[in-house]
Amino acid sequence: MGYLSNSLPLTMLVFAISAFAVWVAGARLAYLADALSDRLKLAKSVVGLVFLSTATSLPEIATTLTAAVQGVQALVLNNLFGGIALQTAILAMSDFWARGAITNYPRKANHALEATLLVLMLGLVIVILMVGEPFAIAGVGAGSVILAVVYAGALWLLRSYDEASDWVPVDLPDPDPLPFPAPTGLTKASTKLLTAQAVLACAVILIFGSLLVLSAESMAIQSGLGTSFIGVTLLAAATSLPELTTSITAVRMGAYTLAISNIFGSNLIMLVLVFPADILFHSGPVLRTTSPIVLTSLGFAIVVTAIFLTGLLIRRKPRLGNVGLDSVLVLISFVASMLVYYSLR
C-alpha cells in the first residue's frame, strides 16, 4: 500500500494528527446521530445499526477495497476479521463510562438478535473458509454472495423486529443515568444543518481515517513487523478508532442503545465487505485460501460476541465495580487474542 515517508517519527506524527481528527469527528458524529434520531423520530438502534456503524466503518471500507484492488488478500481478511474482536472490546471499554453494566440498559431484545445474527455470519465465514470456495462466477465466490444475501436478510429482520417488539426485558434500570450534556445548539439547529454537519464529520473520518491507515501500514513496514500481525492488530486498531470515540461519547450521554448497535452494526459490515472485496480481488475468490490468524480471529470474534449475548440475556449479572462481568471477560479475551496473534505471526 506504500510508505507515507521514509521517516518513522514523521509517520508517527501523521498517525497522531489523524487520530486526533478522527477522535473529534467521531465524538461530534455521536451527538449528531443522537440528535437526528430524535428529530426524525427514528429508533436509536436503527440509527446505530445503519447510519452510525456505516459512517464509522468508512476507514475499514476504504482500506479493504484498496487492498482488494491491489490483490493483498492477507490485509483484506486480517483487517476485516481482526477488527471484529477489537470493536467488541471497544464496547467493553465504553462500559467504564456507564453507570453499571452497559448490557443492562437496552429496553428491547434487538441487541441480542444483532449478536445472534453476527454469530451466524461468523460461523458461515468459517464454513466457507474450510470448504475453500469451490464455486465461483467471474472470480467471485459463492460464499461471499451468500454473506451479502444473509446480511440483507439480517437488516430486514432487525428492522421488522424493532417494530414488532415481541418481548422486552423486565426490571430495567433508569434509561438515562447521569447523561453527559450534549453540545449546546443541537436542539435548536435545523435538520438540514445537522445533516450537513454529519456529512462533514463523515468526510473527516474518511479522509483522516485513510491517513491513519496509511501511516499504520508505513509504521508496520518501517518497524519490520509482519503484515498479518499488523493487519489484525495495529491496522485494525487504526480503522476502529471512529467506533471507539463514538461509542464512548454515546455512553457518556446515556445513549446505550446507540453505542451497542454501532458496534454490532460495524461488525456486521465487516463481514458483508467480503462481497465487494471479492468483486475487486482479481486472483480468484478472496475466501478460497486462509491462514491460522484469520481462522483464529474469527474464533475470538465468536467468543466475545457470545459473551455479550449472554450479558444481554442475563439482566442481573456480577459486576466488578460499575463494570459488568461480561465486559471484563470480553477485555480479557481480547488481550488473549493479541497474545495468540503474536505467537502466530
Q: What is the pLDDT of residues 135-169, one digit of tens each?
A: 888 888 999 999 999 999 999 888 887 766 666 66
pTM: 0.84
Which three cell numbers mark 242? 471512529
Fold annotation for 8-344: A middle domain of Talin 1 (1.20.1420)
Instruction: Write down the residue that cell numbers 459512517 correspond to.
Output: 55
Which three cell numbers mark 39? 428529530
Instruction: Write down the residue that cell numbers 446505530 correspond to.
Output: 48
Helix (H, G, I), strand (E, B) or coil at 140: strand
pLDDT of residue 178: 46
What is the C-alpha separation between 3 and 24, in angstroms, rounded?
26
Whether the CB-CB separation of 124 and 146 falls below 8 Å is answered with yes
Average pLDDT (80-108) is 85
What is the C-alpha separation between 158 and 110, in angstroms, rounded?
7
Whether the CB-CB separation of 43 and 37 falls below 8 Å is answered with yes
Q: What are phi and psi of 181, to 5 degrees?
A: -60, 130
Which three cell numbers mark 336? 488473549
Answer yes or no: is pLDDT of 177 > 50. no
Answer yes or no: is pLDDT of 131 > 60. yes
Whether the CB-CB separation of 206 and 59 falls below 8 Å is answered with yes
Length of the chain in terms of residues written: 345
Q: What is the mean pLDDT of the chain?
A: 83
pLDDT of residue 148: 95
Answer yes or no: is pLDDT of 266 > 60. yes
pLDDT of residue 303: 97
Whether the CB-CB separation of 4 and 238 falls below 8 Å is answered with no
Distance of CA 142 to the CA centre of its chain: 24
Answer yes or no: is pLDDT of 250 > 80. yes
What is the C-alpha separation between 144 and 277, in angstroms, rounded?
9
Helix (H, G, I), strand (E, B) or coil at 320: strand
Compute and round to an integer the Cα radius of gyration of the chain: 19
Answer yes or no: is pLDDT of 271 > 90. yes
